[in-house]
Amino acid sequence: MRDGPQATDSTSATSADPPGVATPSTVRFVPRPSGEAALAAVAGAFTLAQLLLVRPGMGLGWDESVYVSQVSSHAPAAFFSAPRARGVPLLVAPIAAWTSSTAVLRIYLAALSGLALFLALRAWRGVFPARVLATGGALFATLWVTLFYGPQAMPNYWVAVGALAGTGWFLRAQANRFDRTALWGVGLSACLMAWMRPTDAVWAALPLLLLPVFLRRWRRPALSAALAAGLAAGAAEWVIEAYVSYGGPAQRLSDASRIQGGLGWNIAVADQLRALGGRTLCRPCTSAPPSVPETLWWCALPLLAALAAVVAVRARRPAATLVPLACAASAAFPYLFLIGYAAPRFLLPAYALLALPVADLLVCLVRAPGRIPRPLILVLLPLALVGHLAVQFVVLEHTVRRTTAAHREWAAVAAGLHRLGVHPPCLVTGENYVPIAYYAGCSSAATSGHDANTTAAGIGRTARRLPTAALVAPDGSPPGYARSWTPHQVAGLRVYVAPGVTPEGRR
């Protein structure tokens, strides 16, 4: 493939334009080396860092257990609630369908996430120089939240790389009306996003959908059609499932809103700030904020984005910077202002889209003469980046250690259930029932809450024919249907086993 072009964010000058003057309407390309080796190095280092820093043997979390169980040969499918989509189960199916090894799954996802990052950065060839793409990729890849979720069976990273790639392809297609590859890139990237999380895909793509509506020079029917077709293709399964299992798309969206605490005007900025110390889910988010070093980068992001926009506008190349900034703001908006809790992974698409404009700003600071002395920049900028990386890796190590310990506790409970005779086929309910049931190879059930999928009478009927256990916190009391069951103490939980189950698993 020939080398990609380089964008200058302006249309080609016509014969009526004075020499050296370009109109700032859209994106113009001039040839530049592709720099694919640098992008491959960033992606490869990202994969290697995941394998070294995020332990492949770290067990599956709650949400991961739900997604993987849909295609697993190891355990029955867990209840699939309204907000979820089938992208992740299909993504992990090549591994989960034949092995229950979490290590193999993590290695597979780490390699796949590195490849996806390379392809997403490559989509921007010609829009930014290779040095900017490599720097932006490194900034995004070294965030603790990116490294932590890259090898996990979760949708947010994949929405992020889809948004990053789709925006790059969109700008390339806008610049070259004859670039059919870019049109396919836009459609496939949108499909990936919607395949993973349809609602997140719409928010991330919203500026791309609106630009042709308000700016005549951006009106390209083929490009808008490719974007819309990609979103529709990716969301098709979700829509069909909504009609089959949830009463239609409107009802599914309503159920999803209820499960997420009721979507509406909820300022969650402070909640996201509190989660930056390594909390994978902040619900409710009442803890104290993490230390200043752990949050400084996050607070600096809006300022850096604004400076990047100013630099791009003054340089008369606004599109390549303002478009991803708009998509980042749109992707982040529902998780900062419309939801009553926080999780760092929710903002991964915004981080991916912010990375390149911020990287462009940093490269400009280093390369362009200005009021700040160049030696000062060359000293302070590396020190700031080293400090930033140190903070990211400290938070990552703490998060991985705590998460691994929690997953080992779940695995210990599952092993205890086996010793008590709860072997597949079996049923588990109660405290942390979804991941523990997955580890034990059992079905999972709940009579209340967001994932309620049965009744107390239904559990009672199942307990008469299958080994069944109810998990209760040490300070909790058993549900009514389990009060006559045999109590046991297993790995910090009280386990109530239905009558008739023997340590050998026979009834």
Give residue 1's pLDDT.
38
Cα 440 from Cα 428, distance rounded (Å): 9
Tokens representing 402? 């705590």
Which residues have a Cβ under 8 Å from the Cβ of 383 and sit 6 or more positions away? none
Which residues have a Cβ under 8 Å from the Cβ of 210 and sit 6 or more positions away? none
Considering the domain boundaries, does residue 141 fall inside one?
yes
**Residue where one domain finishes, among candidates 319, 348, 368:** 368
Give residue 35's pLDDT.
82
Q: Do 165 and 296 reside in the same domain of the chain?
A: yes
Q: Do 338 and 415 reside in the same domain of the chain?
A: no
Give residue 168's pLDDT.
98
Considering the domain boundaries, does residue 377 fall inside one?
no
Give residue 394's pLDDT.
96
Considering the domain boundaries, does residue 391 fall inside one?
no
Which residues have a Cβ under 8 Å from the Cβ of 302 and sit 6 or more positions away? none
Q: Do 340 and 483 reside in the same domain of the chain?
A: no
CA–chain centroid gap for 392, Å, is 17
311 to 164, 315, 358, 361: CA distances (angstroms): 21, 6, 11, 7
Q: Do 207 and 352 reside in the same domain of the chain?
A: yes
Q: Do 214 and 305 reside in the same domain of the chain?
A: yes
Q: Do 106 and 225 reside in the same domain of the chain?
A: yes
The DSSP result for 62-110, as a single string, is HHHHHHHHTT-SSSPPPP--TT--SHHHHHHHHHHTT---HHHHHHHHH
Cα 159 from Cα 147, distance rounded (Å): 15
Give residue 162's pLDDT.
98
* Total-model pTM: 0.91
Q: What domain range is 68 assigned to? A: 5-10+24-368
Q: Quick one: 191 exposed, middle or buried, by C-beta within 10 A (0-12, 13-18, 19+)?
A: buried
Q: Do 191 and 281 reside in the same domain of the chain?
A: yes
Considering the domain boundaries, does residue 339 fall inside one?
yes
Q: Do 297 and 427 reside in the same domain of the chain?
A: no
Bridge partner list, 428 = 444, 469
Q: Do 345 and 438 reside in the same domain of the chain?
A: no
Q: Do 148 and 280 reside in the same domain of the chain?
A: yes
Count the neighbouring beta carbons within 10 Å of the beta carbon of residue 281.
15
Considering the domain boundaries, does residue 388 fall inside one?
no
Q: Do 412 and 356 reside in the same domain of the chain?
A: no
Considering the domain boundaries, does residue 376 fall inside one?
no
Count the neighbouring beta carbons within 10 Å of the beta carbon of residue 243.
12
CA–chain centroid gap for 463, Å, is 38
Give residue 17's pLDDT.
37
Number of domains observed in the structure of the chain: 2
Give residue 317's pLDDT.
86
**Residue where one domain finishes, among candidates 321, 347, 368:** 368
Considering the domain boundaries, does residue 379 fall inside one?
no
- pLDDT per residue of the chain (507 residues) written in tens, 0 to 9: 334 444 444 433 333 333 333 333 445 544 455 589 999 999 999 999 999 999 888 999 999 999 999 999 889 999 999 999 999 999 999 999 999 999 999 999 999 999 999 999 999 999 999 999 999 999 999 999 999 999 999 999 999 999 999 999 999 999 998 899 999 999 999 999 999 999 999 999 999 999 999 999 999 999 999 999 999 999 999 999 999 999 999 999 999 999 888 888 999 999 999 999 999 998 888 878 899 999 999 999 999 999 999 999 998 889 999 999 999 999 999 999 999 999 999 999 999 999 999 999 999 888 776 666 777 777 888 898 999 999 999 999 999 999 999 999 999 999 999 999 999 999 999 999 999 999 999 999 999 988 899 999 999 999 999 999 999 999 999 999 999 999 999 998 999 999 976 665 555
Count the neighbouring beta carbons within 10 Å of the beta carbon of residue 338.
17
Give residue 8's pLDDT.
45
Q: How many residues does the chain have?
A: 507
Q: Do 313 and 430 reside in the same domain of the chain?
A: no
Considering the domain boundaries, does residue 373 fall inside one?
no
**Residue where one domain finishes, among candidates 368, 391, 421:** 368
